[in-house]
């Protein structure tokens, strides 16, 4: 990059025709642009999957409802789950990792910029492929449409016999394609963090966000690969007439469950570790204190990743396993609560005695702490096999994991949006609208997911199309659905806030939060080259050192 | 843990030359390849687990002990190709392009012989023994696992052929030793996986 194009970068952008600008975005290998592409792409899918959730909830608003047909209902919960996990949360977190990791470790770009672009487009086409099934999946039999086998697609539902047409093929292929994209991104994140850190930034001085994303990437490699292997087996079964999951020929349906959940449970930590990463950056800045117990936070993260690889079969207590297997998975699942609890205490200790600024990112972070705690507690309840036999596949489980994914991950993602929005676009969001978004979403979230636990306890199974009146589920389901509309209203406020701020917002400046990590040392939005001079750091809070040369951190670390 | 010594006497950020960065950091290519190998290992692990789990569970024949012959010659070929690629990289590192091309070509030949061996074995199984991927669980798991490995050999051979073409056209120089070394890492992995597949399919599974 020559100095001329650096100086004229922003001017160029404004004056070029639309086609040229689009061409730049499509062919870009810049980590910031790919990060934004990931984020925008996943946000579009968030809206789509949110609409699908709304359809599910309207169908369940009262007994004997006929808002959609049973077939459509099956497609809705399958597409909602698949989209949210693979095409919303993962790309959203990859987007933030892409955008932030090089900036935070003082690098020019990711380790493999072209692999980065390739991975994004694989993920993007995976999502498009999944949704193309609405048009293209009818197949020769005229059967099927969008996938309707549930997001974990248990055998033998996915066999040719029970899934005519191509809906399951679309599901498999789209996850395979986007899975390769995820593996590519994970390789890139690891190589970036291990090889591209600026001088002075030892592993022990990295921002926690980089640490947590490093561990997340390791988990992606260990978790997504088994999923890809299982998808290949499913393709062999469906296209070549193989018998991996074909019980008629001696195959095993339980095999698929194991393979899926060997992916499925580490995946939860793939999703939640970046949320922890956001919390570990945002909570200290708005408490005006350095993070409490940095080495313990890192150790707890590594610990979580280790245990995460050995808890998968707690999704299968109701399938029926041996007593030894049950005991092992009960204990390992309970054990993972320990490092997670350590993290919660560390965040609380960071806030303790701090000068807390209740800005929107901090509000979302505080809600995250409480909600993640409750999600963890219901998780411990479900980890006890006897309790799980009673409540497995009930709405209690649905409420539990939505508490994790919405109450913890989505809340922290909103916090990250508000926290880094000024950095990404150079504009400040509107604080009042941010707070309105927070309170609306908080009310909606608790109406929906607090009350969703109770029908589960009362015996309402997940994925049912409708239910009989008079089982004590009616009012609760009504309240759950009402909560959805609060959440939808909050999302409208959120989008309005971002759009308004993007076009009309006040200029934010390079460091609106008086923060301490390297991304705030460059302009907002950062120039293509990130740093005019590669920074050199001596502590975990390089900007603190620079702002307070009389009392730098490196004297104490 | 690449901790550069604190070379500056003040806390401000100062200019660091590229040499500083590259001196401390591990090679991107190697780290990337190790990560890819980890991901591939996870994929192979799942297929190996499936193979082991389904041993003896086929409802109909043919069974492994009736139709499988241990491919000793082809295994020796593949494993020796690890040695030849090692010598090739060593030659390139000491800037000897001629010996590099020779060792590299030998690697390609040995890999191709192995692949031909797999093709011959499959032809025998399909046409003479009537074992296809649809026949029974053995067929399904055998063709998937061995096929997955053969696919990786094919990818490796394509990459090796590309490098060979560039070498013959005179583009490969001493400074590419690092990149060629990363490719060799992949090839070693393919060979190591064969040791596992061989043990599982031809020793335990028979």
At A8 the pLDDT is 44
Question: Which tokens go with A462?
Answer: 């997940």
Instruction: Provide CB contacts within 8 A for A64, sequence distance 6+.
Output: A466, A468, A469
Taking contacts as CB-CB distances below 8 angstroms, the residues of chain B near A112 are 28, 32
Do the Cβ atoms of A511 and A521 come closer than 8 Å? yes
Nearest CA distance, B206 vs chain A (angstrom) = 18
Residues in chain B: 206
Among A191, A230, A251, beta carbon nearest to B137 = A251
Residue B109 forms part of a structural domain = yes
At A505 the pLDDT is 92
Instruction: Quote the CA–CA distance of A253 and A345 in Å, as a whole number.
Output: 41
At A75 the pLDDT is 93
The answer to whether the predicted template modeling score (pTM) of the entire model surpasses 0.90 is yes
Backbone torsions φ then ψ of A207, nearest 5 degrees:
-60, 150
Residue B44 forms part of a structural domain = yes
Residues of chain A with pLDDT under 70: 1-14, 139-144
Q: Are B140 and A244 in contact (CB < 8 Å)?
A: yes
Q: Are A195 and B10 in contact (CB < 8 Å)?
A: no
Backbone torsions φ then ψ of A427, nearest 5 degrees:
-120, 150
> What is the CATH classification number for the domain harbouring A124?
1.20.210.10
Nearest CA distance, A200 vs chain B (angstrom) = 6
Nearest CA distance, B108 vs chain A (angstrom) = 26
- Tokens 């806390």 sit on residue: B11
Residue B21 forms part of a structural domain = no
Domains in chain B, number:
1
Instruction: Quote the CA–CA distance of A535 and B12 in Å, as a whole number.
Output: 9
Backbone torsions φ then ψ of A428, nearest 5 degrees:
-95, 135
Taking contacts as CB-CB distances below 8 angstroms, the residues of chain B near A186 are 35, 39
Instruction: Quote the CA–CA distance of B41 and B20 in Å, as a whole number.
Output: 34
- Which ipTM was obtained for this model? 0.92
Q: Are A195 and B38 in contact (CB < 8 Å)?
A: no
At A3 the pLDDT is 42
Q: Which of residues 57-86 of B touch A (CB under 8 A)?
A: 57-59
Residue B108 forms part of a structural domain = yes
Dihedral sign, CA of A322, A325, A329, A332? Answer: positive
Domains in chain A, number:
1
SS3 call for B14: coil
Do the Cβ atoms of A374 and A403 come closer than 8 Å? yes
Nearest CA distance, A548 vs chain B (angstrom) = 9
Residue B141 forms part of a structural domain = yes
Do the Cβ atoms of A34 and A98 come closer than 8 Å? yes
Residues in chain A: 557
Residue B11 forms part of a structural domain = no
Mutate to test the interface with A, among B15, B18, B35 (most CBs of A within 10 A): B35
Among A202, A251, A259, beta carbon nearest to B46 = A259
Residue B64 forms part of a structural domain = no
Arithmetic mean of pLDDT over chain A: 93
Average pLDDT over residues B93-114: 95
Predicted confidence band of residue B4 (pLDDT cuts 50, 70, 90): very low
List beta partners, residue A461: A394
Dihedral sign, CA of A60, A64, A67, A70? Answer: positive
> What is the CATH classification number for the domain harbouring B81?
1.20.120.80
Instruction: Quote the CA–CA distance of A323 and A314 in Å, as a whole number.
Output: 13
SS3 call for A394: strand
Over the stretch A532-550, which tens digit does the pLDDT of each residue have? 999 999 999 999 999 999 9
Q: What is the DSSP letter of A461?
A: B
At B206 the pLDDT is 86
Residue among A231, A303, A35 at smallest CA distance from B46: A231
Over the stretch B36-48, which tens digit does the pLDDT of each residue have? 999 999 999 999 9
Q: Are B31 and A190 in contact (CB < 8 Å)?
A: yes
Mutate to test the interface with A, among B13, B32, B178 (most CBs of A within 10 A): B13
Q: What is the DSSP letter of A319?
A: G
Instruction: Provide CB contacts within 8 A for A216, sequence distance 6+.
Output: A93, A97, A186, A189, A269, A270, A273, A274, A277
Among A229, A233, A249, beta carbon nearest to B59 = A249
CA distances from A30 to A404, B54, B150 (A): 32, 47, 36
Min mean pLDDT across A250-254, A287-291, B2-6, B142-146 is at B2-6
Taking contacts as CB-CB distances below 8 angstroms, the residues of chain A near B2 are 197, 202
Instruction: Quote the CA–CA distance of A337 and A315 in Å, as a whole number.
Output: 16
Taking contacts as CB-CB distances below 8 angstroms, the residues of chain B near A188 are 32
Q: Which of residues 28-47 of B touch A (CB under 8 A)?
A: 28, 31-32, 35-36, 38-47
Residue B5 forms part of a structural domain = no
Q: What is the DSSP letter of A551?
A: S
SS3 call for A518: helix
CA distances from A352 to A175, A283, A288, A365, B160 (A): 43, 11, 11, 14, 59
Torsion on CA atoms B188, B194, B197, B199, rounded to nearest 10:
-110
End-to-end CA distance of chain A: 37
List beta partners, residue A427: A507
Instruction: Quote the CA–CA distance of B2 and A159 in Å, as a whole number.
Output: 51
Q: Which helix (H) or strand (E) holds A184?
A: helix A167-195
Q: Does B140 touch chain A (CB under 8 A)?
A: yes
Q: Are A534 and B16 in contact (CB < 8 Å)?
A: yes
At B18 the pLDDT is 43
At A555 the pLDDT is 86
Dihedral sign, CA of A376, A377, A382, A384? Answer: positive
Instruction: Quote the CA–CA distance of A167 and A69 in Å, as a whole number.
Output: 17
Q: Does B52 touch chain A (CB under 8 A)?
A: no
Predicted confidence band of residue B25 (pLDDT cuts 50, 70, 90): confident
Neighbours of A292 (CB within 10 A): 20
List beta partners, residue A428: A506
- Tokens 């076009």 sit on residue: A503
Do the Cβ atoms of A342 and A296 come closer than 8 Å? yes
Among A250, A262, A533, beta carbon nearest to B15 = A533
Among A190, A242, A535, beta carbon nearest to B140 = A242
CA distances from A364 to A37, A58, A211, A341 (A): 24, 27, 22, 19
Do the Cβ atoms of A474 and A466 come closer than 8 Å? no
């Amino acid at each position: 990059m020559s100095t001329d194009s650096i100086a004229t970068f922003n001017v160029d952008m404004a004056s070029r025709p639309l086609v040229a600008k689009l061409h730049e975005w499509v062919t870009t290998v810049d980590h910031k642009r790919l990060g934004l592409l990931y984020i925008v792409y996943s946000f579009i899918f968030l809206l789509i999957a949110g609409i699908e959730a709304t359809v599910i909830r309207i169908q369940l608003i009262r007994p004997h409802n006929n808002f959609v047909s049973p077939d459509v209902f099956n497609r809705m919960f399958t597409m909602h789950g698949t989209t949210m996990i693979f095409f919303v949360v993962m790309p959203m977190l990859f987007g933030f990792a892409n955008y932030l990791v090089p900036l935070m470790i003082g690098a020019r770009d990711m380790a493999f910029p072209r692999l980065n672009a390739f991975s994004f487009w694989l993920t993007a086409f995976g999502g498009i492929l999944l949704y193309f099934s609405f048009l293209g999946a009818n197949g020769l039999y005229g059967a099927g449409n969008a996938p309707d086998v549930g997001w974990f697609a248990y055998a033998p539902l996915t066999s040719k016999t029970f899934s005519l047409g191509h809906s399951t093929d679309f599901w498999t292929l789209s996850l395979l394609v986007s899975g390769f994209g995820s593996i590519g991104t994970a390789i890139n994140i690891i190589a970036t963090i291990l090889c591209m850190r600026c001088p002075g930034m030892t592993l022990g001085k990295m921002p926690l966000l980089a640490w947590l994303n490093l561990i997340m990437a390791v988990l992606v490699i260990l978790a997504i690969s088994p999923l890809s292997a299982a998808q290949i087996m499913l393709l062999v079964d469906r296209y070549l007439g193989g018998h991996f999951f074909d019980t008629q020929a001696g195959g095993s349906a339980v095999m698929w469950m194991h393979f899926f959940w060997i992916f499925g449970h580490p995946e939860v930590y793939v999703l939640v570790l970046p949320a922890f990463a956001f919390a570990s950056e945002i909570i200290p800045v708005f408490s005006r204190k350095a993070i409490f117990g940095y080495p313990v936070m890192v150790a707890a993260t590594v610990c979580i990743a280790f245990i995460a690889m050995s808890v998968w079969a707690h999704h299968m207590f109701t399938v029926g396993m041996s007593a030894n297997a049950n005991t092992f998975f009960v204990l390992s699942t309970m054990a993972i609560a320990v490092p997670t609890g350590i993290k919660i205490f560390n965040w609380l200790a960071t806030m303790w005695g701090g000068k807390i600024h209740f800005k929107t990112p901090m509000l979302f972070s505080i809600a995250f702490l409480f909600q993640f705690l409750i999600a963890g507690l219901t998780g411990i309840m479900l980890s006890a096999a006897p309790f799980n036999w009673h409540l497995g596949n009930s709405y209690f489980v649905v409420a539990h994991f939505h508490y994790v994914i919405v109450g913890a991950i989505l809340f922290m993602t909103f916090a990250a949006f508000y926290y880094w929005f000024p950095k990404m676009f150079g504009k400040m969001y509107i604080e009042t609208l941010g707070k309105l978004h927070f309170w609306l979403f908080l009310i909606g979230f608790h109406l929906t997911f607090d009350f969703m636990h109770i029908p589960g306890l009362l015996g309402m199974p997940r994925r049912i199309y409708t239910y009989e009146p008079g089982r004590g589920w009616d009012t609760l389901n009504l309240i759950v659905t009402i909560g959805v509309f609060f959440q939808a209203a909050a999302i409208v406020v959120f989008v309005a806030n971002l759009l308004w701020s993007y076009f009309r917002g006040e200029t934010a400046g390079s460091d609106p939060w008086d923060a301490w990590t390297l991304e705030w040392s460059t302009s907002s939005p950062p120039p293509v080259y990130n740093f005019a001079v590669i920074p050199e750091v001596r502590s975990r809070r390089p900007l603190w050192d620079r702002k307070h040369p009389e009392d730098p951190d490196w004297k104490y670390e | 843990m690449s901790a550069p010594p604190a070379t500056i006497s003040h806390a401000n950020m100062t200019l660091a030359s590229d040499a500083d960065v590259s001196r401390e950091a591990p090679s991107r290519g190697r780290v990337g390849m190790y990560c890819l190998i980890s991901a591939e290992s996870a994929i192979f692990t799942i297929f190996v687990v499936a193979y082991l789990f389904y041993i003896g569970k086929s409802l109909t024949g043919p069974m492994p002990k009736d139709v499988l012959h241990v491919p000793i010659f082809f295994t020796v070929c593949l494993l020796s190709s690890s040695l030849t690629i090692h010598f090739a990289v060593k030659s390139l590192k000491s800037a000897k392009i001629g010996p590099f091309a020779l060792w590299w070509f030998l690697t390609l030949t040995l890999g191709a012989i192995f692949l031909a061996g797999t093709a011959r074995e499959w032809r025998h199984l399909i046409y003479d023994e009537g074992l296809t991927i649809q026949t029974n669980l053995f067929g399904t798991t055998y063709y998937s696992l061995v096929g997955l490995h053969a696919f990786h050999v094919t990818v490796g051979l394509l990459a090796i052929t590309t490098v060979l073409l560039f070498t013959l056209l005179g583009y490969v120089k001493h400074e590419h030793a690092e990149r060629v070394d990363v490719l060799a890492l992949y090839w070693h992995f393919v060979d190591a996986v064969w040791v596992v597949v061989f043990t599982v399919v031809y020793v335990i599974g028979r």
